[in-house]
């Protein structure tokens, strides 16, 4: 798989390939035209409970990764759907978080690559 990450607020680029939004909520202040999202897979994102618990707190990062990976292992249908969407082509997982180091898309990409 050829996967990269990008904030949904960054300018889309032809090198992005298929742009897959991996957030449970649509990014604030962004229209569908401006987002240039090919697919929105909100069910692959962390559960509402986990997302609210984490609250983008870097101190909870290690535990968040553990919990989100457990959710992904239990969410085989959505993981398979994401893999099908990516296929053997270039894909960009787009996310809304301002924190480019501590976000669910990083965990998801690592999960797919392992």
List Cα–Cα distances, 9 to 57, 92, 111, in angstroms. Answer: 21, 13, 24
- List phi, psi (to 5°) of 4: -135, 170
* Angle formed by the axes of helices 104-113 and 61-73, nearest 10°: 50
Q: What is the pLDDT of residue 32?
A: 87
Q: How far apart are CA 108 and CA 114, in angstroms?
A: 10
Ranges under pLDDT 70 in the chain: none
Query: Domain coordinates of the chain in residue numbers?
Result: 2-113
Site of tokens 């909520």: 25
Would you state the pLDDT for residue 77? 95
Task: List C-alpha distances in Å: 62 to 36, 57, 93.
Answer: 31, 10, 21
């Amino acid at each position: 798989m050829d996967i990269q990450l990008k904030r949904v607020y960054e300018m889309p680029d032809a090198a992005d390939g298929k742009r897959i939004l991996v957030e449970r909520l649509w990014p604030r202040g962004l229209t569908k035209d401006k987002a240039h999202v090919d697919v929105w897979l909100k069910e692959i994102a962390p559960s509402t409970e986990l997302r609210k618990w984490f609250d983008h707190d870097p101190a909870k990062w290690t535990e968040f990764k553990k919990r989100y990976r457990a959710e992904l292992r239990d969410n085989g249908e959505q993981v398979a759907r994401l893999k099908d969407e990516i296929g053997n082509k270039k894909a960009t997982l787009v996310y809304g978080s301002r924190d480019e180091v501590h976000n669910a898309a990083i965990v998801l990409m690592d999960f797919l690559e392992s």
